[in-house]
Structure 1
Amino acid sequence: MELSPSAHADPFCRDRLPPFPLWPELHFDLPELQYPARLNCAQRLLDDAVTRWGADRPCLLTPSSGRWSYGELLRRANQVAQVLTEDFGLLPGNRVLLRGPNNPWLVATWFGVLKAGGVVVTTMPLLRSAEIAELHDISRPTVAVCDHRYLDELDAADTPGLAVIAYGGPGEHDLTRRSAAKDGEFTTVDTAADDVALIAFTSGTTGRPKATMHFHRDVLANADTFSRHVLKPQQDDVFTGTPPLAFTFGLGGLVVFPLHVGAATLLIEQAAPRQLADLVAEHGVTVLFTAPTAYRAIMAAGVVDRLAGLRRCVSAGEALPAAVWEEFRAATGLRIIDGIGATEMLHVFISAADDGIRPGSTGRPVPGYRAVVVNGEGDPVPDGQPGLLAVTGPTGCRYLSDPRQTTYVRDGWNLTGDTYIRDAEGYFWYVARSDDMIVSSGYNIAGPEVEKALASHPHVEECAVVGAPDDRRGMVVKAYVVLRPGAAADDVTVKELQNHVKQSIAPYKYPRAVEFVTELPRTSNGKLQRSELRKRARTTAG
């Protein structure tokens, strides 16, 4: 395998790619996946869109009825690229950390970084300072661009040498004012199709995040597979959804897929189920991306009639129960498109739409991908038997300097960490996660990371965290806690521990259920038996 000559002056990413023998098999079976050797995905998604459909076409919408056209987004992205290169000396290959909720300036900055040849590192806006410091330590960004409302945790993080630019605030050095002083004329860097475009983080079961590196061609590949062949968007569609752009499910569904076809996207910073349904109705949304939790909550809130204008509903991030699918179909007439994706693969690789849907099944491999169910030795298991899900396609796992590459990629296959069954018709049926990851409301939460936060509280002697079944969220984080002598096993302590976790790590990771125990189950050699706790959590929930 040989990579094209890189446009990156800073070789950080190329130098930290896994050795070629540890890469997954990549194949580009479809004609639309035959990308040229030189490719910048920002040029393809934005500049080419303006050329094809005109500068005045609506592009980014906001709940306050703000609207940016494709031409306005292009101008602002070029201005951001100018600020980064002229004012901050950004070189191709330098990483830029982004922090903020879903809004137009976050998207403009995402494109501006790519046009300048930089590597985007978009982070979840709710991360705390210690988490930000860890991501900084792994990806080594030179610049951070942050929504002014989210500066506190970034400022508190240990990020030596990091230049910080705020946007949306009152200061004269704010990115919006810096950008306004630029002429908006910028020549997009001629990157290689296999230059790294973005680093996306995924939680590791050890608690240390894994950095996945994706190329410029990868960004387009998901649009030319799942979006083109399963979602089938139209130019007059209006997209919206709840996942943050740091979550690659959100990046595809709210930026890449709509812009790939000249559609518009409504960017929502945050919305409860009732608000989400109202926004869908008010803005003529036709394509919705969210987790099963939200679909359930919209039905429970009695506002499902507000979704009457939808043409497509997409669910990912956690398994979609057949009962939820059936209830939603009965209430709306819409068939939710379920799918499984992974940060390592960038987006959805198994799915189904329309008459191809089997409620309760994730679907079949998306055109361009292949999937099998294998045993622990990597051999395919017979249909109807559970095993590990293994996938290949035009995208695949490339961790940044991480020994866990050999765990995720084996014999050329990406092993997602999910247990699946394939039936005789080639449909894939989700069974469970194969590791200690807790998937709650579409978010991946590493149990050991929550344990580390809990263990730092003075009342906690030891603890263990597992996922417990939950009707609304799919799973919730449940903590089993052994208290130190003198600490009261009561609701006050529960609330104190929960608040402590919220202050230590991203608030959505906190344990919604806490059970005090006198001891944790262990093997004869002292190893914690999380499987016993998972079994107990299922029994209690049942």
Structure 2
Amino acid sequence: MHRSAHLDTFARDHLPPQDQWPEMHFDLPELQFPERMNCAHELLDRWVAEGHGDRPCVIGGDGRGGEIRWSYADLQAQANRIAQVLVHEMGVVPGNRVLLRGANTPQMAACWFAVIKAGAIAVATMPLLRAKELGQIIDKAQVTHALCDAALADELETARAQHPVLYRVCLFRSQAADGLEALAERQSPHFENVDTAADDCALIAFTSGTTGQPKGTMHFHQDVIAICRCWPRSCLKATADDVFIGSPPLAFTFGLGGLLLFPLSVGATAVLLEKASPEALLPAIARYRASVCFTAPTSYRAMAAMLAQPGASVDLSSLRKCVSAGEALPAATRQQWKDATGIEMLDGIGATEMLHIFISHTEASARPGATGVAVPGYRARVVDDEGRELPRGSVGKLAVQGPTGCRYLDDERQRHYVKDGWNLTGDAYLVDADGYFVYQARTDDMIISGGYNIAGPEVESALMAHPAVAECAVIGVPDEERGQLVKAFVVLKPGHEGDAALVKAMQDFVKATVAPYKYPRAIEFRASLPRTETGKLQRFRLKESA
């Protein structure tokens, strides 16, 4: 590894041992990186330096009913001022972890770049997370500082009270005298980026495992640029004239790449929507003349149904690229969207551990039901339990290598994700006769519903705190609209009746405990749960019965 710029060495100190890392491959000429690199320069500063500072960069709401339209020079100035606040007002030093909490907004984008410029490590979190989940992230990453949207401060303050390692919080989109805007206004719009090493950690992205205990995936400055030079160049093929739009939060690596990193890597424009439901996304595409859309299959299904309604009139003539990820894309959804818009969707599979998409296709090579082939820069195969490559047509575990890979933050699960130098993504695939990778299922108990990853045991833990619940089990069941639904099997304590009112009460209870999208949309009351003689829950029997 190169000489680190991090004065706070927590990240390097808690990387997995080198012998547990996956093999990394930098085969393409564009993946030859210098030893020193701050990815904020490549994505933002260089456009201003090259004379393109007046190009439109990010568009979004200002939090007061108005709209922000920042050029590349504007975003750079905002990020520089916030970086000054981080360093001079909040005491951030290179290597500190800075939690970011906010919806998709220009201010959130500026905060992300400010953290990167200051040589700190961005830890972006979903707006829907509750104090319990935020606390797990704060504790795992030893987060010391946070920038938070004022509208989302309550849950963070609750978490902060329980985790005093987080000792400095500054609120943005705030009118307060000590709010980020007021502090930034006093700062210089110029900032000299910290001279980070290419392999200094730039971000820690959290993903929930089947245990519900979050895993922090550590990604370097060079990883951020690597994902911009692989899938976008070979499959997306966007240009500086494109306008990107979509629904995934910037806290998801799918959203961070698709709605911030990828557009800025080619000098394009990013539209950041705070609320991007299908009902909001369709008119926003028309309003902003968006040309590239990122969202989950669930959203494409809903938008296609809206477009098919009598009298529906939305001008989508600007739209030319539609990307689906976050869950498997059903062939019927692909066809439904194509019938509605004439656009062939780009499908892909990525992972938080890999940072972004590593198997995909182009519009010309798309096939119903197939994800595609390995993205240039990556290699993939299907293996058995011993890591041996399987013949075509056999279902096995997906194994991947490339310029990015899994490096968990201080987590024993590293040994399970990386085997013999390969990243095992937890997906079951087969390779068809023509070499296309075809998705089969998840190999673990992760539930993927509406593009969100939901850990069944985490929902169980929330349900078990309800006073009427004796025991419970949560699984994912197939659903045409959402891919999977979260379903809970509940054994009640004596004196409680399993009726519709109790179902609603339990659902509301879970929504108040963990992020609302994780709540069980179906609850079935049972007298007992299937267990082994040793008392171990047999989830597979519940899945069979469902």
With structure 1 as the length reference, what TM-score do the two structures score? 0.97
Indicate the residue corresponding to 1:26 in structure 2.
24
Which of the numbers 175, 181, 186 marks the counterpart of 2:186?
181
Query: Could you tell me which amino acid in structure 2 is paired with residue 151 of structure 1?
Result: A
Indicate the residue corresponding to 2:541 in structure 1.
532
* Alpha-carbon offset, residue 329 of structure 1: 1.2
The answer to whether the 8 Å contact 1:81/1:115 transfers is yes
Which of the numbers 156, 169, 179 marks the counterpart of 2:174?
169
Which of the numbers 239, 242, 258 marks the counterpart of 1:253?
258
Which of the numbers 441, 447, 452 marks the counterpart of 1:432?
441
Indicate the residue corresponding to 1:44 in structure 2.
42
Classify the secondary structure of the residue corresponding to 2:299: helix
Classify the secondary structure of the residue corresponding to 1:256: helix
Query: Could you tell me which amino acid in structure 2 is paired with residue 262 of structure 1?
Result: G
Which of the numbers 305, 324, 332 marks the counterpart of 1:300?
305
The answer to whether the 8 Å contact 1:305/1:332 transfers is no
Q: Does 1:154 align with 2:159?
A: no
Q: Does 1:220 align with 2:229?
A: no
Please give the alpha-carbon distance, in whole angstroms, between the structure 1 residues aligned to 2:384 and 2:319. Answer: 40
Please give the alpha-carbon distance, in whole angstroms, between the structure 1 residues aligned to 2:58 and 2:51. Answer: 15
Indicate the residue corresponding to 1:275 in structure 2.
280
Query: Could you tell me which amino acid in structure 2 is paired with residue 474 of structure 1?
Result: G
Please give the alpha-carbon distance, in whole angstroms, between the structure 2 residues aligned to 1:535 and 1:385. Answer: 22
Which of the numbers 107, 116, 120 marks the counterpart of 1:114?
116
Which of the numbers 467, 470, 477 marks the counterpart of 2:476?
467
Indicate the residue corresponding to 2:380 in structure 1.
371
Indicate the residue corresponding to 1:540 in structure 2.
none
Classify the secondary structure of the residue corresponding to 1:182: coil
Q: Does 1:312 align with 2:321?
A: yes
Identity %: 56
* Alpha-carbon offset, residue 55 of structure 1: 1.4
Classify the secondary structure of the residue corresponding to 1:66: strand
Please give the alpha-carbon distance, in whole angstroms, between the structure 2 residues aligned to 1:283 and 1:533. Answer: 46
Indicate the residue corresponding to 1:394 in structure 2.
403
RMSD of aligned alpha carbons? 1.0
Indicate the residue corresponding to 1:342 in structure 2.
351
Please give the alpha-carbon distance, in whole angstroms, between the structure 2 residues aligned to 1:142 and 1:160. Answer: 9
Please give the alpha-carbon distance, in whole angstroms, between the structure 2 residues aligned to 1:460 and 1:159. Answer: 29
Classify the secondary structure of the residue corresponding to 1:266: strand
Which of the numbers 186, 194, 200 marks the counterpart of 1:195?
200
The answer to whether the 8 Å contact 1:350/1:364 transfers is yes
* Alpha-carbon offset, residue 219 of structure 1: 0.4
The equivalences for 1:93-112 within 5 A come to 93-112=95-114
* Alpha-carbon offset, residue 305 of structure 1: 4.6
Q: Does 1:77 align with 2:75?
A: no
The answer to whether the 8 Å contact 2:231/2:375 transfers is yes
Please give the alpha-carbon distance, in whole angstroms, between the structure 2 residues aligned to 1:31 and 1:40. Answer: 19
* Alpha-carbon offset, residue 66 of structure 1: 2.5
Query: Could you tell me which amino acid in structure 1 is paired with residue 484 of structure 2?
Result: M
Task: Give deviations 1:68-122, integer Å, cap 9, x for gaps.
Answer: 0100100010001100000111100001000010001110010001100000000
Which of the numbers 456, 463, 469 marks the counterpart of 2:465?
456
Task: Give deviations 1:363-394, integer Å, cap 9, x for gaps.
Answer: 00000000000001110111001000000000
The answer to whether the 8 Å contact 1:298/1:304 transfers is no
* Alpha-carbon offset, residue 524 of structure 1: 2.5
The answer to whether the 8 Å contact 2:97/2:122 transfers is yes
Classify the secondary structure of the residue corresponding to 1:54: coil
* Alpha-carbon offset, residue 403 of structure 1: 0.2
The answer to whether the 8 Å contact 2:20/2:415 transfers is yes
* Alpha-carbon offset, residue 9 of structure 1: 0.4
Task: Give deviations 1:22-52, integer Å, cap 9, x for gaps.
Answer: 0000000111000111000011111112123
Please give the alpha-carbon distance, in whole angstroms, between the structure 2 residues aligned to 1:413 and 1:149. Answer: 42
Change (3 A) 1:53 1:295: farther
Please give the alpha-carbon distance, in whole angstroms, between the structure 2 residues aligned to 1:306 and 1:476. Answer: 32
Unmatched runs of 5 consecutive residues or more in structure 2: none
The equivalences for 1:414-433 within 5 A come to 414-433=423-442
Which of the numbers 8, 12, 15 marks the counterpart of 1:14?
12
- Shifted more, 51-60 versus 70-79: the winner is 51-60
Classify the secondary structure of the residue corresponding to 1:445: strand
Unmatched runs of 5 consecutive residues or more in structure 1: 538-542
* Alpha-carbon offset, residue 307 of structure 1: 2.9
* Alpha-carbon offset, residue 65 of structure 1: 4.3
* Alpha-carbon offset, residue 331 of structure 1: 1.9
Classify the secondary structure of the residue corresponding to 2:87: helix
Q: Does 1:211 align with 2:211?
A: no
Classify the secondary structure of the residue corresponding to 1:44: helix
The answer to whether the 8 Å contact 2:80/2:189 transfers is yes
Please give the alpha-carbon distance, in whole angstroms, between the structure 2 residues aligned to 1:276 and 1:315. Answer: 14
* Alpha-carbon offset, residue 525 of structure 1: 2.3
- Shifted more, 494-503 versus 297-306: the winner is 297-306
Query: Could you tell me which amino acid in structure 2 is paired with residue 257 of structure 1?
Result: F
Please give the alpha-carbon distance, in whole angstroms, between the structure 1 residues aligned to 2:15 and 2:47. Answer: 31
* Alpha-carbon offset, residue 536 of structure 1: 1.9
The answer to whether the 8 Å contact 1:277/1:304 transfers is no
Classify the secondary structure of the residue corresponding to 2:390: coil
* Alpha-carbon offset, residue 142 of structure 1: 1.3
Please give the alpha-carbon distance, in whole angstroms, between the structure 2 residues aligned to 1:275 and 1:318. Answer: 21
Query: Could you tell me which amino acid in structure 1 is paired with residue 15 of structure 2?
Result: L
Query: Could you tell me which amino acid in structure 2 is paired with residue 189 of structure 1?
Result: V
The answer to whether the 8 Å contact 2:486/2:520 transfers is yes
Which segments of structure 1 move beyond 6 Å, counting only runs of 4 or more?
Answer: none
Classify the secondary structure of the residue corresponding to 1:307: coil
Please give the alpha-carbon distance, in whole angstroms, between the structure 1 residues aligned to 2:540 and 2:122. Answer: 37
Please give the alpha-carbon distance, in whole angstroms, between the structure 1 residues aligned to 2:492 and 2:483. Answer: 28
* Alpha-carbon offset, residue 168 of structure 1: 0.5
Please give the alpha-carbon distance, in whole angstroms, between the structure 1 residues aligned to 2:182 and 2:52. Answer: 26
Please give the alpha-carbon distance, in whole angstroms, between the structure 1 residues aligned to 2:337 and 2:241. Answer: 24
Please give the alpha-carbon distance, in whole angstroms, between the structure 2 residues aligned to 1:307 and 1:493. Answer: 44
* Alpha-carbon offset, residue 204 of structure 1: 0.9
Please give the alpha-carbon distance, in whole angstroms, between the structure 2 residues aligned to 1:345 and 1:311. Answer: 27
